[in-house]
Structure 1
Amino acid sequence: MNRTQLFEQIKKKSSYLCVGLDTDVDKIPTHLRSAADPVFEFNKQIIDATIDLCVAYKPNIAFYEALGPKGWESLQKTLEYIPKDVFTIADAKRGDIGNTSALYAKAFFEHMSFDSITVAPYMGEDSVKPFLKFKNKWVILLAHTSNPGADDFQLLQSTGSGKKLYEEVILKSQQWATPDKLMYVVGATQAEKIGGIRVLAPDHFFLVPGIGAQGGDLAQVSKFGMNKQCGLLVNSARNIIYASSDKDFATAAKSEATKVRNEMENLLNSLL
C-alpha cells in the first residue's frame, strides 16, 4: 500500500485507528478454545467487528511465534482474512546484519505480504536498507518508545551534535528513504515529545502505541503529532480486543473501537 492509498483510507473512514492483534491464547474467551484454531477464530471476529472503524491491523508477532508452527498458521490465516485495502503491520522489531535482514524482509513482505514491518535501527543503515527495497512496502523504525527502559539509551546525548540518540536516529534515517517508505514508532505516553519529533520529521507517518490501557491521550497525541496528511496511525490493542472476556467480546470490541474512531473523526475535522 502506498502513501496516497493509506491517506485515502483515513479520509474514507474518518479514522487513523490501528487495532493491535496481540492475541494471547490465555486471554481469549473460553468458549473459543475448543475451536480448531482459537487464535484465528478470535482474530476473525475482532476483524469483522472493527473493519469499518480502523485503517490498520498490527499483529504482534511474538504472540504467534510463542505458539510454534500453529501460531504461524494462525497469523497467516489472519493476514489473508484482512481486506487488501487495510494496512497491515508486522510488529516484529527485526534488525540484524544485512543478509539476515534481507531474509526477514523476504519472509514478511514476499511470503506473508505484510505492508510494513517494525525495525530496530541500532545496527545502522545496512540492517535497515534490505527492508526498503520492496515496492509499496514500509519500514516503521523504532524512534522514541515509551517503555520504562527507553531512557537507558534513547535519551543519551551526542557529544558532537548535542542531540539525543533518538533524534540522531530520526535525522540519519531520513537519508535512507523518503516519507513514502519510512515511518517512525513514537510512544503516546509523552505526547509533548511528539511535537519535537514532528519538527524533525514533518512529512512522515508515526505509528503511535500507548493509547488506552497504557495511558496515552489521543487528543494530545493528535494535537502534537498530526500533519497535513494526518500522519498518524494510533494503535490500541488491549482496550479493544479484550473489552470483554465473554461471548459478547466482538460486540464489546466494536463499541470500544467506535468510541476511539468517533473521537478521531472529531480531531480530524478540527485539526486538518
Structure 2
Amino acid sequence: MTRAELFSQIQQKSSFLCVGLDPDLEKIPSHLKAESDPIFSFCREIIEQTADFAVAYKPNIAFFEALGPKGWESLQKVQEIIPKDIFTIADAKRGDIGNTSKLYAKAFFETMDFDSITVAPYMGKDSVTPFLEFENKWVILLALTSNMGSLDFQVIEDKEGKPLFLSVLEKSQAWGSPENLMFVVGATRGELIGEVRKAVPEHFFLVPGVGAQGGSLSEVAKYGMNSTCGLLVNSSRGIIYASGEKDFAKAARKEAEKLQIEMKGLLDLYLG
C-alpha cells in the first residue's frame, strides 16, 4: 500500500485507528474454544465488526507463533480475510543482518503479503535496509516505545545531550523515506511526541499505548499529527477484550466506534 492510498483510507473513514490483534487463548471467550481454530474465529469476528472504523490491523505475531505450525496457519488465514484496502502490520519486531533480514522480509512481504513489519534498529543499517527493498512495503522502526524498560536505553544522552531515540530517527531517515518508513512512538510518552515530530516531520507514526495503557489520543494528535495525518493509533486490549462473553465482537465494535468518533473530531480540528 502506498502512502497516498493509506491517507485516502484515513480520509474516507475519518479514522486513523489501528486494531491490534492479540488473540490470547486464555482470554478469548470460552465458547470459541470448541471451534477447530479458535484463534482464527476470534480474529474473524473482531475484523468483521471493526472494519468500518479501522484503517489498519496489527496482528501480534507472538500470539500466533506460540501455537506452532497451527498458529502460523491461523495467521495466514487472518491475513487473507482482512479487507485489501486496509493496511496490515506484522508486529514481529524482527532485527537481524544480511540474508536473515532478507528472508524475514520475504516471509512477511511475499509469503504472507503484509503491507508492513515492525523492525528493531539496534543492529543498525544492514539489519533494516533489506526490508526496504520491497516496493509498496513498509518498515515500522522502533523509536520511542511506551514500555517502562524503554527508559533503560532510548533516552540515554550522548556527549552532546542528544537522546538515543533522536539519533535513531536522524540516522534512519537516510535509509528510507516517508513513502516506506514509519516509526513506533508510544502514546504514554506524550511530552516527547512533539520532539519526535520535529525530527521526522513527514513520516507516519504507529502509536501504541492509547486505551488500556493510558495514553491520551488528544495529546497524540496535538503533538503528532501532520498534514497527511501521519498517525496510526493502535488499540488492542481496549477493543478486542471489551467483553469476554458471546457479545465480544459487538462490544469491540462499540469501542472501535468510540475511538473513530474522537478521531474524526481531531481530524476535523487539525486538518479541516
Q: TM-score, normalised by structure 1?
A: 0.99
Conserved 8 A contact 1:240-1:256: yes
1:57 counterpart = 2:53: no
Report the counterpart of residue 220 of structure 2 in structure 1.
Answer: 221
Report the counterpart of residue 156 of structure 1 in structure 2.
Answer: 156
Q: CA deviation at 1:271?
A: 1.0
Cα deviation code 1:23-45 (max 9, x no counterpart): 10111101110111000000000
- 3-state SS in 2 of match to 1:149: helix
Contiguous gaps of at least 5 residues in structure 1: none
Cα deviation code 1:113-149 (max 9, x no counterpart): 0000000001000000000000000000000011111
Cα deviation code 1:76-127 (max 9, x no counterpart): 0000000111000000000101111001000000000000000000100000
Aligned-partner residue type, residue 256 of structure 2:
A
Q: CA deviation at 1:194?
A: 0.4
Q: CA deviation at 1:162?
A: 2.7
**CA distance in 2: counterparts of 1:192 and 1:204, whole angstroms:** 19
Report the counterpart of residue 139 of structure 2 in structure 1.
Answer: 139
**CA distance in 2: counterparts of 1:145 and 1:215, whole angstroms:** 14
**CA distance in 2: counterparts of 1:173 and 1:20, whole angstroms:** 25
**CA distance in 1: counterparts of 2:210 and 2:139, whole angstroms:** 21
**CA distance in 1: counterparts of 2:21 and 2:201, whole angstroms:** 29
**CA distance in 1: counterparts of 2:161 and 2:258, whole angstroms:** 42
Report the counterpart of residue 242 of structure 1 in structure 2.
Answer: 241
**CA distance in 2: counterparts of 1:187 and 1:195, whole angstroms:** 12
Report the counterpart of residue 2 of structure 2 in structure 1.
Answer: 2
Report the counterpart of residue 100 of structure 1 in structure 2.
Answer: 100
**CA distance in 2: counterparts of 1:77 and 1:101, whole angstroms:** 24
Conserved 8 A contact 1:50-1:253: yes
Report the counterpart of residue 210 of structure 1 in structure 2.
Answer: 209
The 5 A counterparts of 1:16-55 are 16-55=16-55
Aligned-partner residue type, residue 220 of structure 2:
V
- 3-state SS in 2 of match to 1:155: coil
Aligned-partner residue type, residue 227 of structure 1:
N
**CA distance in 1: counterparts of 2:232 and 2:221, whole angstroms:** 10
Aligned-partner residue type, residue 246 of structure 1:
E
Cα deviation code 1:182-234 (max 9, x no counterpart): 00000001212101100000000000000000000000111100000000000
- 3-state SS in 2 of match to 1:127: helix
CA RMSD, aligned part only?
0.6
Report the counterpart of residue 257 of structure 2 in structure 1.
Answer: 258
Conserved 8 A contact 1:22-1:63: yes
**CA distance in 2: counterparts of 1:37 and 1:49, whole angstroms:** 19
The 5 A counterparts of 1:43-192 are 43-159=43-159, 161-192=160-191
**CA distance in 2: counterparts of 1:252 and 1:99, whole angstroms:** 44
**CA distance in 2: counterparts of 1:88 and 1:116, whole angstroms:** 6
**CA distance in 1: counterparts of 2:51 and 2:4, whole angstroms:** 20
Aligned-partner residue type, residue 136 of structure 1:
N
**CA distance in 2: counterparts of 1:26 and 1:75, whole angstroms:** 18
Conserved 8 A contact 1:98-1:128: no
- 3-state SS in 1 of match to 2:184: strand
**CA distance in 1: counterparts of 2:104 and 2:112, whole angstroms:** 11
1:201 counterpart = 2:200: yes
Aligned-partner residue type, residue 145 of structure 1:
T
Aligned-partner residue type, residue 256 of structure 1:
E
Contiguous gaps of at least 5 residues in structure 2: none
After superposing on structure 2, the runs of 4+ consecutive aligned residues of structure 1 that deviate more than 3 Å are none
Aligned-partner residue type, residue 60 of structure 2:
N
**CA distance in 1: counterparts of 2:146 and 2:253, whole angstroms:** 27
Q: CA deviation at 1:270?
A: 0.5
Q: Across the two proteins, how many residue pairs are aligned to each other?
A: 271
**CA distance in 2: counterparts of 1:222 and 1:172, whole angstroms:** 25
**CA distance in 1: counterparts of 2:205 and 2:188, whole angstroms:** 14
